[in-house]
Amino acid sequence: MEQEKIGTAQGKEETAILTVNGKTIGLPVITGTEGEKAIDISRLRQLTGYITLDLGYGNTGSCTSAITFMDGEKGILRYRGIPVGQLAEHSTFVETAYLLINGRLPIQRELQAFSVMLNDHSLVHEDMKFFFQNYPRATHPMGILSSMVTALRSFYPELETLSHTENVNMTMTRLLSKLRTMAAVSYKISRGHTPEYPRPDLSYCANFLNMMFNSPVKPYVIDDVLVKALNTFWILHADHEQNCSTSVVRMVGSARVNLYAAISAGMAALWGPLHGGANQKVVEMLEKIQAAGGDAKPFIARAKDKNDPFRLMGFGHRVYKTYDPRAKIMKNICHDVLARLKTDDPLLPIAMELEETARKDLYFIDHNLYPNVDFYSGIVLRALGIPTNMFTVMFAIGRLPGWIAQWKEDHDDPGWRLHRPRQIYVGNTVRDYVPMSQRTEAGAEPGKAAAPRSGRKPAP
Ligand code: CMC
């Protein structure tokens, strides 16, 4: 076999050696600050003519990033190096947003200035209310909000005249402040009520709850425990490295589209039931278990059945192969909020029982399926009074700082390139166009498709 040394990684500690089609090449090994290793294949095609194939990107690093670190085996999640548990305990959502976007905790003066900016930009253009009013009543709030975020861009044509930095700072602030207002406006309008304006004397989270629930006939009483719960809920969702929606934001952003459009695309991805839409699906699943008498076993049996696409919602994660650290904190918030409200949610014991039964089951043990952040978050949101169809909107408001930070990191990267994956084509080889008059039913050929991976459950 021909052995040709084509390239080695110069000045790197480690090199991966790959032999392909008789040629041996050295590929640089990149080591992250937490010791994670990656083989840099950026010259692979140029050197060998081959590409890598990694369905679902389980082994593909799409970027280097200094924002969030997670270790799925150990259940670690840190934002800019700070454990998420510490932030949940001591920080606020606004401070955590600053941390994610700017890379460090703010000093008092900076946090104050950031809060003032968020307050100054918290109103939405009055004309936007017409958009909300004209959506069909049955529209899912995620559909409304993702299109509204794109529409926001049209209200600020002056952006083009600002410097790039001013433009980006203004846009980031507007998004962070207005998405929260827009979510509350869409809720009020969906109920046929007049939207509530933001108040300058209230904090970010208290303001949101007030805009959602204050009414001229029933003033909303702001409760510190509930405000703290919302802060924690949003902190826990604030970033999660290269998840589906964040990868979308980076991908779309790499085309140098404006930030509103990139965030809107991320929101569309988050809407999916396997991603941010899972929190709504968890509650719907728990309600079904409750309606069926409270016995979770038939649902667990379905989740294990190879021929049934049903999955236990709120269980499993692409990266975590142990407890999602966010799920543990979320479970504690459930108890805090329900205790404060002096109420019970019948779904909580069902969820706890389901968790216990599943965690003893061999299928869930063997597949490393643990509760994820969405498993208990719906119960927290229900207790706060958030309607089920707005659960994913709540996730989106929380994830916004992460999307912005990731977009900015990609945008400011001197090594930036348009994101453009390749593929292995498995369709028809060249064939001639057949005129309509010569086509027959029998002649209709199905396209060739790659064989599905055997033994897997059908897609949910
Ligand atoms: N219930 C039953 N089986 C499951 C589940 C589940 N919730 N999740 C994964 N599996 C099985 C799956 O059937 C497959 O089995 P097999 O190898 O025997 O065919 C195996 O576990 C691996 O599944 P996968 O689809 O390759 O795993 P993934 O890493 O692509 O999926 C996931 C991750 C989150 C999409 C998946 O666990 C899932 O669908 N969970 C339910 C939806 C959910 O809770 N999503 C929220 C995720 S956390 C919030 C967020 O970050 O968005």
Tell me: the pLDDT tens digits for 361-418? Answer: 999 999 999 999 999 999 999 999 999 999 999 999 999 999 999 999 999 999 889 9
Is residue 340 within 8 Å of 247, Cβ to Cβ? no
Residues of the chain with pLDDT under 50: 1-12
| 394 token code pair | 């709540």
Helices 391-412, 278-291: axis angle to 10 degrees equals 160
Of all protein residues, whose CA lies closest to atom 35 belonging to ligand 1? 274
335 is catalytic: no
Q: Which atom of ligand 1 is nearest to the CA of 240?
A: 51
Closest ligand 1 atom, CA of 303?
A: 2
Query: What is the best residue among 239, 310, 317, 319 to mutate for testing ligand 1's pocket, by most ligand atoms within 8 Å of CB?
Result: 317
Q: Contact, 302 vs 453, CB < 8 A? A: no
What number of other Cβ atoms are within 10 A of residue 263's Cβ? 29
Please give the pLDDT value at position 450: 55
Distance 367 CA to ligand 1 centre (A): 9
pLDDT at residue 191, rounded to an integer = 86
Count CB neighbours of 158 within 10 A: 9
Pairing of strands 23-31, 82-83: unpaired
Separation of CA 350 and ligand 1 centre (Å): 21
User: What's the pLDDT score for residue 344?
Assistant: 86
301 Cα: distance to centroid of ligand 1 (angstroms)? 15
Which residue lies with its CA nearest to atom 26 of ligand 1?
318
- Model pLDDT, residue 5: 40
Question: What distance in Å separates the CA atoms of residue 2 and residue 416, rounded to the nearest whole number?
Answer: 36
pLDDT at position 455 is: 67
SS (H, E, C) 370-396: CECHHHHHHHHHHHHCCCHHHHHHHHH
Catalytic residue among 121, 237, 240, 317: 317
Where do we find the tokens 């389980």? Answer: 58
Query: Is 121 among the catalytic positions?
Result: no
Ligand 1, atom 28, residue with closest C-alpha: 318
316 CA from centroid of ligand 1 (Å): 5
**What lines the ligand 1 site, CB under 6 Å?**
56, 240, 243, 274-276, 278, 303, 311-318, 367, 369, 372-374, 456-457
CA angle 328–332–337, rounded 5-degree value: 145
Each as own residue / partner, the long-range contacts of residues 327-332 (CB below 8 Å, 24 or more positions apart, any chain) are: 327/370, 327/371, 327/372, 327/373, 327/375, 327/376, 329/84, 329/85, 329/88, 329/232, 329/236, 330/233, 330/236, 330/373, 330/375, 330/376, 330/377, 330/380, 331/371, 331/375, 331/376
* Å from CA of 424 to ligand 1 middle: 25
